[in-house]
Amino acid sequence: MSDTSKPNSASSIPTMGRFPNLDRVRVPADLRNFSAEQLRQLAEELRSETVDAVSTTGGHLGASLGVVELTVAMHAVFNTPDDRIIWDVGHQAYPHKILTGRRERIRTLRQPEGLSGFTRRSESEYDPFGAAHSSTSISAGLGMAVAHHLRANDDPSYEERNVIAVIGDGSISAGMAYEAMNNAAVAGPGAKRLIVILNDNEMSIAPPVGSMSNYLSRLMTSRKFLSLRDLAGKLAKRLPASLERTAKRADELTRGLITGGTLFEELGFYYVGPVDGHDMNQLVPILRNLRDSDEGPVLLHVITEKGRGYKPAESAGDKYHAVSKFNVITGEQKKAPAGPPSYTSVMARELLRHAEGDERITAVTAAMPSGTGLDKFAAKYPGRFFDVGIAEQHAVTFAAGMASEGLRPFCAIYSTFLQRAYDQVVHDVDLQNLPVRFAIDRAGLVGADGATHAGSFDLNYLCCLPNMVVMAPSDEVELTHMTATACVHDSGPIAFRYPRGSGTGLDLPEKGEILEIGRGRIVREAARQPGTRSGVAILSLGTRLTESLKAADHLAAQGIAVTVADARFAKPVDTALIEKLAREHEVFITIEEGAAGGFSTQVIRHLAETALLDSVKFRPMALPDCYIDHNLPDVQYDEAGLNAPQIVATAQAALGAQAGQQTA
């Protein structure tokens, strides 16, 4: 059941009574008889409610503040949820959630068992398409519009619906958005009910880059022609049909003379704009005209300001794109206690050290310079840093091109975003054995961002590639070594994955060591009689090593001999280490922060090929076959069964009666 079925409860809404217009809105239908002035006031109240709510939860604030008026106008004009509104990425949908029956739960945003930080089909009927990655809205919206048309053809009682895709200026730069627009022009009459709203705030996560950003800026500064078009439209309706067609053509020619035409019209869209996205007096009548028009597909270009209406956000460099909990009055964010440096910053530090002495090292990212730590590289070596925008496919092949000419490119992309470029990783990098370095941030579970941003699958989709080397550090010192190793690895592609968040607090070496490819290490070795097979071997890949050592302590206290090893490499695996652990132990456990079928598959295949699988109790531990919802990372890993207690339980179950005797 969606949250819209639950009435707002004053006891669960701390601001109830402060916002009279917002208090009247339980679902969007409640605001469709509001006057223009009431809608304007509602927008101000909605903005204040959004700020108040996010101050208690943290989240993506700036983007939401920029679309408040647009959100109100769309729900006031369109018959949602029958008319579909699709938010690209979805991190700007907090005001939308408040208006669509979720106000009483908005302060559970990104909290355990609370609302998602993105749109989610299972959360509300007002979220027709789930999103958290960019540039999908136009494709999904076109599919919906065509589906509605086909259903209407089959069933005369079915009313076609409008489909509105709201996409940012950063997201529309991605190739998928162009693929969708190119298809919309030839997708048939169903596409006529598609309205794309380009939310142009000149800033995505980082300032947008590339020719599209420059193009939109030129459109913004060109002479506006809305009043001219409105006048022409009114006059044309009074003319005979033949003259009306002539007037319409004249309007198109006039707009071409004024603006030089638009790229969007060349793609088959009827372009409207640019218009002020914060002016309700413009937005509402324009949206009504587009709702009732059959000119589609339409692209409405609105200009908004990220962080609008909240002074601390307006003055911040990132417009409060993502914030922790904060003081509403001062805007001061609550900082976590000082702790170890993040894995991201450790990678960036070592990369900078190597780049200083190696001009062949370049850095590539896809619209995430600060998130990947490459902003520091960009500041020091701007000529060797490339932010390609939201274009992961291009980023990978661009890096491959550099590698083919002797450079040493580092392609720093989040694990969950690298999925978007898998064909390029396979065909353009691995098949040609080009030495592209993949710095894969946010590996494993990621806390409040939930399943959409979890790096669950990179081990699976990289370990199966013939030429790929895949590393995973157990701590920040190991990450330093792996970054250094990637810098000098020229024989083919190499990837190293590391988690979000802080390291373990170890002292960092002055410089990283170059690791032997495919060689792991034993961290703790159990004492045993030579030539005997007993106890438990734990082979950990990545940062579960800390939990593995905790589990070893617990098992040792029960009299069970435990050896703990750090695999370091998911591919190629250390076959000598695997054979040693299998021959000397009764139980062999592997642990990885990824979906089943990644690292463990490499191990079990070698055990099977050497017949060692016949004589050892092998137990792989990986993420379960489900998506894990947003929560605290430790809780997520507990749910996944990858913390010390679950490791202990796995070992005890495999040992069976023997474990019980040793415990006794």
Q: Residue 479: which residues within 8 A CB-CB, separation 6 or more?
A: 343, 346, 347, 350, 473, 496, 498, 503
435 φ, ψ (degrees, to nearest 5): -80, 65
The burial class, CB within 10 Å (0-12 / 13-18 / 19+), for 501 is middle
> What element of type H or E holds 530?
none
- Please identify which of the residues 45, 392, 476, 586 carries the catalytic annotation: 392
Binding site members for thiamine diphosphate: 91, 132-134, 170-171, 201, 310, 392
- Which one-letter DSSP state was computed for residue 515? P
- Whole-number Å distance between alpha carbons of 572 and 663: 37
Written as one string, the DSSP assignment of 240-307 is -HHHHHHHHHHHHHHHHHHH---HHHHTT-EEEEEEETT-HHHHHHHHHHHHH----SEEEEEE--TT
218 counts as catalytic:
no
Binding site members: 91, 132-134, 169-171, 201, 310, 392
| 426 SS3 class | helix
Nearest to 64 by CA among 43, 80, 78: 43
Beta bridge pairs of residue 412: 365, 439
306 counts as catalytic:
yes
Q: What is the CB-side half-sphere exposure of residue 577 using CA atoms within 13 A?
A: 25
Nearest to 100 by CA among 16, 28, 22: 28
The burial class, CB within 10 Å (0-12 / 13-18 / 19+), for 211 is exposed
Long-range contacts of 548-554 (CB under 8 A, 24+ apart): 548/591, 548/644, 548/647, 549/523, 549/524, 550/644, 551/644, 551/645, 551/647, 551/648, 551/651, 552/524, 554/644, 554/648
- Whole-number Å distance between alpha carbons of 380 and 199: 32
Beta bridge pairs of residue 200: 303
Provide the token pair at 346. Answer: 């450790």
| Residue 623 identity (one-letter amino acid) | L
- Please identify which of the residues 97, 306, 319, 500 carries the catalytic annotation: 306
| 198 SS3 class | strand
Contact 299/198 with Cβ under 8 angstroms?
A: yes
- Please identify which of the residues 420, 437, 544, 568 carries the catalytic annotation: 420
In angstroms, what CA-CA distances link 427 with 468, 469, 518, 559? 12, 16, 24, 51
- Whole-number Å distance between alpha carbons of 334 and 55: 10
Binding site members for Mg(2+): 169, 201
Give the strand order in the sheet containing 84-87: 84-87, 163-168, 194-200, 298-303, 270-276
Nearest to 474 by CA among 398, 542, 404, 549: 542
Contact 22/47 with Cβ under 8 angstroms?
A: no
Query: Which residues carry out catalysis?
Result: 306, 392, 420
